C-alpha cells in the first residue's frame, strides 16, 4: 500500500488507494448510497467493478488488494460485516503512558495534550481500516486528569484526531468519567438529578458540534474504585440511560463496561466468587437499558486470563444489546514478549456462544509508539486477526494467520507454514508452562508477568486457587459457590462433573485432589509436572524454528530478543510452579526430572 492513498472521505480514500496500488488496470468504483459498510466485487472480461456504500467502497478496495496480494480470485457476492461496531479501545493516558501497554508510549498523547505524527497516524488509519475496524476509543477507561478535558476545554484537540481518522471510515469514541459534572462545579453526579442530566446534554451537544460523527461514549463505573451510580444508590441501567439520552439526538452509542465486582473480598470468605459478580449485577437489569446502550462484557468472567470459560452474562440478557470485549495487549498472556496468538481463544468462545455471539466487538489495543507499533512484530498478527474476527464474527484462526503471514513477509510456502504453525500452537505452549488446567492468577501482582503462585492468594481481589497439601481448584458447582448455575443447562451439564468437564477448565470449576487419576491415566499432580516440562521444551523448540526464518533486518533483532526472553520466562514458570506444587503435595515427578526443593 502507498502513502498516496489518502482523501477527505472514505470514498475519496478508496479511489486514491485503488489508483496508487493498481496503477494499470485500476478497478471502476461505484458508490451505492444505502449500502453502508457493504461491498461487492464484480469481474467480467478482464474488468473489475467494486460497488459499495460510503464506507463499504473502501472496504471493497482493501479486499481487492488483499485478494491480489494473496493471489486469489475475488468473490462476487455482496459482503457485509456481521458486527456493526468493530472497536479498538486504547488505554492511553494523556501523560503519554498506556495502562497495560507494552509497545512504548501513546501514539497521540504526550505531556497532557494531544500530540502525534500525522503521517504515522494516517498509516495507522489505513492499517486499521484495511482489516475492517471502524471505531477507535483513544483514551483510558480509567479516566484521569486531564483526560476529562477531552470533552470540554481540550475538545479541539480531540477533533484533530477525529479529522485525521475520518477518511479511513474510522469514527472516534471517547471514555468519559461518570463523576465529571462534579469537576464542572455541580454538587454531585446523581444520574436522577435533573441538573446532572442537563449538564451531560449541554456538554454532549457541544461535543457533537465539533465532531458530528463521534461514535459515542465509553464508561467504566463502580469497578476498581471508579465512580458510578452505586455512589447514589442508583442502578447501572439508570446511570447508563441518563448518558445514552444525551447521546440519542446525535445518533451516539453509550458503551457501558460490565466489569463490576467486589474488589475488597476477604480471602477467608469461600462463598463470594468474583467471576459471578457481573451476572449478579446485570442479569436482573435485562430489558431496562435504552436501545442505544451497549453493555460490553468481557469474553470470560475473570479478566483476560490464560484460560477461562465464556462469560455466562453473554447468555443471560436476551433483551439487552451486548458487546464482547477481548484484550490484544496480552496483559496476562505474555505482554507482547511471549508469543501468544489469540484467534484460537476466540474460536472457542464462538463455539460456546453459538447463535448468542454479540454483533458488537471490542478489543483492548496492543498499539504504541514502538517502531513496529506492537512491541513484538509478531503481535501484529493478533490485531490483524481481530479485525477479521470483528468483520465476520467468527475467528478463522488458520486463515487469518496465513493471510497475515503472506501479506507481511512474503515467505516461501515452507517458511510461511513454519510461521503459521508457530502462531497456531503458541497459545497451547504458553498455557502449558504457565497456568495448569484452568487455574488463574498465578502471576506477579501488579505487573502481571512471571510466576507468583501465591501472589494474589491472600489479597482482596477475589482471585484465589485455594491450593493446599491435598487439593487445588475451586468448586463452582451447586455444591460449591454456585457460579455454574449462571450458565444455560447445556453448559451446566458440560462443566458440572469431573467426568464431563473439559480438562482445560477442570480446576476452574472443580476442586481436585493431587492423586486424582485423570482421563488419560495420569494423576493430577503428574499432569501439572508434565505440562510445565513439556511447555518449556516446546517453547524452546518453537523459538529455534522461528529463528531460522528470514525476517526483515530491522525486525529480526526484535523477534529474536523476545524469543530469548520467552524461553527465560518459560523456564522460570516451569521451575516455580513445579516446586510450588511439589512442596504442597510432597509427590515426586514420575519421570525423575529436576524439581527444586
List active site positions. Answer: 224, 303, 331
Residue of 199, 206, 174 whose CA lies nearest to 184: 199
Q: In this structure, what DSSP letter does residue 408 have?
A: H
Say how far apart CA 111 and CA 91 lie, in whole Å.
Answer: 16
Would you list the DSSP string of 22-90?
Answer: HSTTPPEEEE-TT-TT-EEEEEETTEEEEEE-TTHHHHHHHHHHHHHHTT-PPP-S-B--S-SEEEEE-
DSSP helix, strand, coil percent of the chain (3-state; round to 5): 40, 10, 45
Q: Report DSSP letters for 241-274, one per residue.
A: HHHHHHHGGGT-EEEEE-----TT--TT-SS--G
* β-sheet bridge partners, residue 254: 217, 293
Grid look-up 476452574 returns 508
Cell of 27: 478497478
β-pair partners for 293: 254
Query: Given CA atoms 62, 66, 67, 69 in this order, what sign does their dihedral have?
Result: positive
The whole-angstrom separation of Cα 566 and Cα 554 is 20
- Alpha-carbon distance 203 to 347, whole Å? 41
Distance, in Å, from the CA atom of 227 to the CA atom of 64, rounded to the nearest integer, reads 47
Cβ distance 98 to 90 under 8 Å?
yes
C-alpha span between 576 and 359 (Å, rounded): 41
Residue 574: Cβ within 10 Å count: 26
> How does 1-26 read in b/e, with b if 16+ C-beta sit within 10 Å?
eeeebbbebbbebbbbbbbbbeeeee
Neighbours of 368 (CB within 10 A): 23
Half-sphere exposure of residue 258, counting CA atoms within 13 Å on the CB side?
37
Q: Is the dihedral of CA 378, 380, 381, 382 positive or negative?
A: positive
Q: Mention every residue, 6+ apart, whose C-beta is less than 8 A from residue 335.
A: 102, 329, 448, 449
| CA dist., res. 413 & res. 411, Å (int) | 6
Grid cell in block for residue 164:
485525521
Cα 277 to Cα 260, 265, 445, 483: the distances in Å are 7, 12, 21, 9
Amino acid at each position: 500500500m502507498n502513502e498516496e492513498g489518502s482523501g477527505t472521505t472514505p470514498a475519496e480514500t478508496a479511489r486514491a488507494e485503488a489508483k496508487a496500488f493498481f496503477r494499470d488496470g485500476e478497478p471502476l468504483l461505484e458508490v451505492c448510497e444505502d449500502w453502508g459498510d457493504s461491498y461487492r466485487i464484480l469481474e467480467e472480461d478482464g474488468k473489475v467493478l467494486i460497488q459499495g456504500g460510503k464506507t463499504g467502497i473502501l472496504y471493497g478496495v482493501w479486499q481487492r488488494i488483499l485478494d491480489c496480494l494473496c493471489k486469489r480470485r475475488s468473490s462476487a457476492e455482496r459482503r457485509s460485516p456481521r458486527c456493526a461496531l468493530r472497536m479498538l479501545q486504547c488505554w492511553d493516558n494523556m501523560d503519554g503512558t498506556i495502562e497495560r501497554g507494552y509497545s512504548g508510549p501513546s501514539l497521540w498523547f504526550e505531556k497532557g495534550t494531544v500530540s502525534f505524527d500525522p503521517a504515522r497516524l494516517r498509516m495507522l488509519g489505513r492499517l486499521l481500516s484495511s482489516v475492517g475496524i471502524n471505531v477507535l476509543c483513544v483514551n483510558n477507561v480509567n479516566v484521569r486528569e486531564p483526560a476529562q478535558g477531552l470533552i470540554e476545554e481540550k475538545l479541539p484537540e480531540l477533533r484533530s484526531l477525529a479529522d485525521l481518522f475520518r477518511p479511513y471510515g474510522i469514527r472516534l469514541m471517547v471514555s468519559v468519567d461518570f463523576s465529571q459534572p462534579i469537576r464542572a462545579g455541580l454538587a454531585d453526579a446523581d444520574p436522577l438529578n435533573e441538573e446532572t442530566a442537563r449538564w451531560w446534554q449541554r456538554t454532549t451537544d457541544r461535543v457533537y458540534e465539533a465532531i458530528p460523527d463521534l461514535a459515542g461514549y465509553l464508561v467504566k463505573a463502580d469497578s476498581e474504585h471508579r465512580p458510578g451510580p452505586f455512589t447514589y444508590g442508583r442502578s447501572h441501567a439508570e446511570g447508563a440511560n441518563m448518558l445514552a439520552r444525551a447521546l440519542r439526538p446525535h445518533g451516539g452509542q453509550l458503551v457501558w463496561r460490565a466489569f463490576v465486582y467486589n474488589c475488597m473480598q476477604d480471602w477467608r470468605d469461600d462463598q463470594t466468587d468474583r467471576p459471578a459478580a457481573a451476572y449478579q449485577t446485570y442479569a436482573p437489569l435485562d430489558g431496562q437499558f435504552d436501545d442505544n446502550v451497549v453493555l460490553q462484557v468481557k469474553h470470560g468472567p475473570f479478566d483476560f486470563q490464560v484460560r477461562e470459560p465464556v462469560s455466562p452474562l453473554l447468555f443471560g440478557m436476551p433483551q439487552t444489546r451486548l458487546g464482547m470485549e477481548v484484550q490484544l495487549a496480552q496483559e496476562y498472556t505474555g505482554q507482547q514478549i511471549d508469543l501468544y496468538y489469540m484467534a484460537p481463544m476466540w474460536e472457542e468462545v464462538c463455539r460456546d456462544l453459538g447463535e448468542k455471539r454479540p454483533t458488537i466487538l471490542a478489543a483492548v489495543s496492543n498499539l504504541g509508539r514502538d517502531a513496529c507499533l506492537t512491541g513484538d512484530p509478531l503481535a501484529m498478527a493478533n490485531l490483524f486477526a481481530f479485525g477479521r474476527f470483528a468483520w465476520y464474527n467468527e475467528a478463522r484462526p488458520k486463515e487469518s494467520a496465513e493471510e497475515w503471514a503472506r501479506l507481511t513477509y512474503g515467505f516461501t510456502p515452507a517458511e510461511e507454514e513454519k510461521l503459521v504453525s508457530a502462531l497456531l500452537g503458541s497459545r497451547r505452549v504458553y498455557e502449558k508452562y504457565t497456568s495448569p488446567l484452568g487455574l488463574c492468577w498465578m502471576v506477579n501482582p501488579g505487573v502481571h508477568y512471571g510466576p507468583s503462585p501465591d501472589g494474589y492468594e491472600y489479597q482482596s481481589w477475589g482471585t484465589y486457587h485455594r491450593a493446599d497439601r491435598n487439593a487445588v481448584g475451586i468448586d463452582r458447582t451447586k455444591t460449591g459457590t454456585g457460579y455454574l448455575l449462571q450458565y444455560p443447562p447445556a453448559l451446566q451439564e458440560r462443566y458440572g462433573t469431573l467426568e464431563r468437564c473439559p480438562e482445560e477448565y477442570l480446576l476452574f470449576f472443580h476442586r481436585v485432589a493431587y492423586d486424582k487419576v485423570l482421563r488419560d491415566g495420569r494423576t493430577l499432580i503428574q499432569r501439572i509436572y508434565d505440562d510445565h516440562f513439556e511447555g518449556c521444551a516446546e517453547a524452546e523448540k518453537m523459538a529455534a524454528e522461528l529463528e531460522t526464518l528470514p525476517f526483515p533486518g530491522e525486525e529480526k533483532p526484535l523477534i529474536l530478543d523476545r524469543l530469548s526472553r520467552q524461553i527465560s520466562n518459560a523456564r522460570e514458570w516451569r521451575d516455580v510452579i513445579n516446586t510450588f506444587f511439589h512442596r504442597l503435595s510432597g509427590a515426586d515427578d514420575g519421570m525423575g526430572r529436576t524439581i527444586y526443593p
